[in-house]
Amino acid sequence: MGDFLQADSFANIYDFTSLLKDLTGKAWGEDWGQLRPHFSSTENAEDVPLPIITHEVVKRIPTPERGEIKPRIRDKIQDPETGEYINLYGQWFDYTLQFNIWDKTVSNVIELLNDLEELILTYTGYFKQQGVSEIYFDEQLRDDKLTSWDDSLNVRSIRYKVRIEALQVIRTGVLEDVDIETEIKDKL
């Protein structure tokens, strides 16, 4: 079976949102609006280009099925040139990622929400190729329960579950010499 199940690289949650931002520009045109991290509610809405999709990590937990409460070693190799050991540690995380779609009209917000869902579904394979293990729709929040950033704007919020293995490379040197000093005291 092999290679088509193997990711070409590994991603973190911010790599994923950066990929999504790039895709929105390519799929919808560079002037569609903006996808960016969630911002402070004190930011002035008049200064923000519309439409806008904000994203935020609502929750991050170690993946329960994996049973990893801390990073575990995935691989250990020795660099043939330096002799250093390279340890690869990994830990699986499940993220709840919320997207908030903002614009002046409800119809524009709903259309953009549908476009976002379609884009994520269409490019799920690409995200997996880039290191996202799993991504799927989780829920849409009740519109009347959202905190509004600006009363003149309409907003809809959806959440996705995203599973990613966080990987960390740690280089360790090779122990070449051990100096031991001993002292013998005469107890006569």
1 pLDDT higher than 60: no
- DSSP per residue, 23-42: HHHHHH-TTS-EEEE---TT
Within a domain: residue 167? yes
Give how many domains the chain has, as a whole number: 1
Distance from C-alpha of 117 to C-alpha of 110, rounded to nearest angstrom: 11
Within a domain: residue 121? yes
What's the pLDDT score for residue 171?
85
Both tokens assigned to 18: 């950066």
Mention every residue, 6+ apart, whose C-beta is less than 8 A from residue 32. 24, 25, 51
Contact (CB, 8 A) for 20 and 40: no
Which amino acid makes up residue 71? P
Q: Please state the rounded mean pLDDT for residues 149-163.
A: 88
Strands 34-37 and 52-62: parallel
CATH number of the domain bearing residue 15: 3.30.2000.10
Domain that holds residue 37: 2-172
What's the pLDDT score for residue 48?
76
Distance from C-alpha of 55 to C-alpha of 115, rounded to nearest angstrom: 15
Within a domain: residue 115? yes
Question: What is the reported pTM?
Answer: 0.80
